[in-house]
Amino acid sequence: MNCPFSSKPRWARRKEARPQELLAAALDLFVERGFAATRLGDVAARAGVSKGTLYLYFENKEELFKAVVRENMLPLLDEADDIIGSYEGSSADLFRHIILVWWERIGATKLAGITKLMMAESGNFPELAAFHREEISMRGDAMLVGLLQRGIERGEFRAIDVHQTANVLVAPVMMLMMWQQPLNPCHVEAVNPETYLKSFIDLCLHGLLRQPPPAPTNQ
């Protein structure tokens, strides 16, 4: 007669978890709790495996965090690079498209929590801050610089310092991400992302687009 209750330990229901399941659980916890407060045992429990199983794939919490960032962010950066490289429309339309797609794929998702985490905890974890800067932030900056340079070379944007302008453009979008995160430190009232980004794009483009020469006056 079969016993109605299984004598197997609860971890036996899954001998191995796919790394993607562990990464998904880690992303949730890093965003919810931050890096310092996230424990590997909690990640394993969220994924439904033993802590030992997690160590089969990731040496420590730092390597797990790096894998989470790479798994989620690098494909999106690759996709954005492809869009910019193949786009045939105007630089103004490309700028608008990149900003809105970025918000849809990152800013409005839990991935925005990674940026908040880095801003809050980078001082305590300089190695992770350097990793994020080298693999994510610098690529994003270079992509935006390239977009601006494209507009200048095509005669659509006026001549500007593309590197400093890229820094100026990034800051308001990062602030919007912070406002959308729970318990934002400034207790800012809710901001409508759609109208915010519409105003941001309008302001940027009217500051970038080359103004037509004045019409000649009749003498």
Indicate whether 11 pLDDT > 50.
Answer: no
Domain ranges of the chain: 10-58, 69-208
Cut 0.85: pTM above it: no
Per-residue pLDDT, 188:
56
> Could you report the per-residue pLDDT of 183-205, keeping only the tens digit for each?
455 555 677 889 999 999 998 99
Which of the residue ranges 9-18, 66-75, 156-165 would you say has the lowest mean pLDDT? 9-18
pLDDT tier for residue 210 given thresholds of 50, 70 and 90: confident
Question: Any idea which architecture 10-58 has in CATH?
Answer: Orthogonal Bundle (1.10)
Indicate whether 162 pLDDT > 60.
Answer: yes
Per-residue pLDDT, 187:
52
Is residue 115 within 8 A of residue 174, CB to CB? The reply is yes
Q: What is the CATH number of domain 69-208?
A: 1.10.357.10
Mean pLDDT in residue range 38-60: 94
Residue-wise burial string across 1-10, b where 16 or more C-beta atoms lie within 10 A, e elsewhere:
eeeeeeeeee
Which of the residue ranges 39-53, 72-86, 126-140, 176-190 would you say has the lowest mean pLDDT? 176-190
Q: Return the structure tokens found at 182.
A: 């729970």
What is the rounded average pLDDT for all residues in the chain?
A: 86
Per-residue pLDDT, 35:
96
> Could you report the per-residue pLDDT of 116-134, keeping only the tens digit for each?
899 899 999 999 999 999 9
